[in-house]
Amino acid sequence: MRPELSTISSIRPNTPNEPRTSVRAVPRTRETQNNTSRVPKPNPRHTGMGIGSRVLALAVAAAIIPSASSIAQPTIPAHPNQIVYPELNYQLPPASTFREVLSSGMVVYIAEDRVLPTFDMSVTIRTGSALDPAGKEGLASLVGEQLRDGGTRSLSPEELDERVDFLAASLSSRIGDTSGSARVGLLSKDLDEGLALLVEILRHPRFDADRLRLSKERQIQNIKRRNDSTTSIERTEWGFLMYGEDHFSNRYTSSASIEAITRGDMAAFHQKYYHPGNMIIAVSGDFDRADMLEKLETAFADWPTGELGPKTFAAPTTTPKPGVYLLHKEDVNQGRVSMGHQGVLRGSPDEFALQVMNGILGASGFTSRLVAKVRSDEGLAYSVGSSFGQGVYYPGSFRCFFQSKSNSCAYAAQLVLNEINRIRTELPSQKDVDDTVNYVVESFPQRFSSKMALLGTYARDEYTGRDPNYWQTYVDGLKAVTRDDVLRVAKKYLHPDQLVLLAVGDATTIRAGGHDKDPDLTLDKFGKVIQLPLRDPDTRKR
């Protein structure tokens, strides 16, 4: 090990992470002269060595201490693009490493994590708002919310809140379209109580009448504000255009459906879907694995398994109808635009090529073509990009999106269309492919930033039936994509003649166009414009 040379710290070269220091000459004023004169000059008789000894010592120091110019300087690239990084070799342990099955048949993904004295557990439940009965849309969502907010058999809502706060814990529950979830996190010293609280809200919810009433009032108020933002309008209308009026993903709550839900409805829904046979657990933290498995066995041992929930959900019965759709929203000076069509199901043999293709087009940040062209080059949009949905239960959607000034929406839409046509007709450069693959591969470890993130992913894969070895081959699948693959899938899966173009904002200005670079380009140039009235915020009907 090189010895520390503290005597030469003043001539050590700056490193990239250290501030550069400098020596400034100070003019000799009367004050500094006076101060300097008070410093006694060294006397050879007081140093313990003679002049000859001191000369010899200086000669030795000169021989062993390198000069500033001779110390190796760090090599700094002239440009960040010239930085060379070591190859990322990130390997995930397989799902089987963490998978256990309790005596009840419940699947558990479990891992010790001793880095911090914490405990984290999540439960995925086989249910969803897709199962709401007609006329009572919002039932599943209310059940998921009130499991946590409505108290338990032994704790009132206020007592439950106080206990969670006292433990400095997080405790949550919800139900989405095709799954439910619940989670607890707290210090590991309190894991027994945290586990007990989670099981209590899952098994014995109170559905407190006052909390239910407040939740209904809040939801009804939110329903009234559905058309307040172009973001909400665009998201809703895009779903209807892609999946049709009758698909469960487009069954929205209304004031009437919320009011129709009773505590009895909630109890029946809970009884039907909440039991160990419909649950998958992910748990990590500062505990002993074997001991934790025993605790889980005990916690769920006397809870009988009931009717199993669905393993799939209905696909849309309609396909998107190409066209140009315009919705008017007053008092906004920017328009939101989406352009796209139906995507594919997960598990496509072209999955990785599609991911790279979409990355090059608009999903890999500032290096993607849409961001570079529409945002960086033209300055037309702050938010712009693309997605290519590979759905779990039914095809996702391909979508390019941006938000721009009303009069530049048509021009920006033309730029997006140009890039869609370009990626279908031109072989991408090897750099485009490499940059996109590297962008995805190097962000891959961020998906699994903790043990719990990894276990949660494996639990969701178990729920949806994904190949448990999927993530072990993920990076290799991306790296195998070639330039020819990108061009092939772009031609196969991108269909400019089938595009749905949706614009939301000031309809008159958006339709007229008039951007400086192409004043004659209007929205009508993309096809017959169908101006749709806004949906009723309550019923979601026109």
Nearest to 345 by CA among 310, 387, 398, 389: 389
Instruction: State pTM to two decimals.
Output: 0.83
For helices 263-273 and 209-224, the axis angle rounded to 10 degrees is 100
The CA angle 327-330-336, to the nearest 5 degrees, is: 50
What are the domain boundaries of the chain? 95-300, 323-532
pLDDT for the residue numbered 76:
86
Tokens of 50: 């003679």
- Measured between alpha carbons, how far is residue 512 from residues 10, 101, 231, 378, 418 in Å? 68, 62, 22, 19, 20
Q: Are 488 and 478 in contact (CB under 8 A)?
A: no
Local confidence pLDDT in tens for the 542 residues of the chain: 433 333 333 333 333 343 333 333 344 443 444 444 344 444 444 444 444 444 444 444 444 455 545 555 668 888 887 888 777 777 899 999 999 999 989 999 999 999 999 999 999 999 999 999 999 999 999 999 999 999 999 999 999 999 999 999 999 999 999 999 999 999 999 999 999 999 999 999 999 999 999 999 999 999 999 999 999 999 999 999 999 999 999 999 999 999 999 999 999 999 999 999 999 999 999 999 999 999 999 999 999 999 999 999 999 999 999 999 999 999 999 999 999 999 999 999 999 999 999 999 999 999 999 999 999 999 999 999 999 999 999 999 999 999 999 999 999 999 999 999 999 999 999 999 999 999 999 999 999 999 999 999 999 999 999 999 999 999 999 999 999 999 999 999 999 999 999 999 999 999 999 999 999 999 999 999 999 999 999 999 99
Tokens of 200: 């209590």
Tokens of 340: 């796209």
Fold match, 95-300 / 323-532 = yes
Homologous superfamily (CATH) of 95-300 is: Metalloenzyme, LuxS/M16 peptidase-like (3.30.830.10)
Nearest to 513 by CA among 259, 337, 371: 337
Place of tokens 């109170």: 206
Per CATH, domain 323-532 is 3.30.830.10: yes
- Measured between alpha carbons, how far is residue 207 from residues 141, 155, 268 in Å? 13, 11, 12
Beta strands in 431-528, from DSSP E residues, in sequence order:
500-505
pLDDT for the residue numbered 155:
98
Q: Which helix (H) or strand (E) holds 202?
A: helix 191-203
Tokens of 442: 């190097």
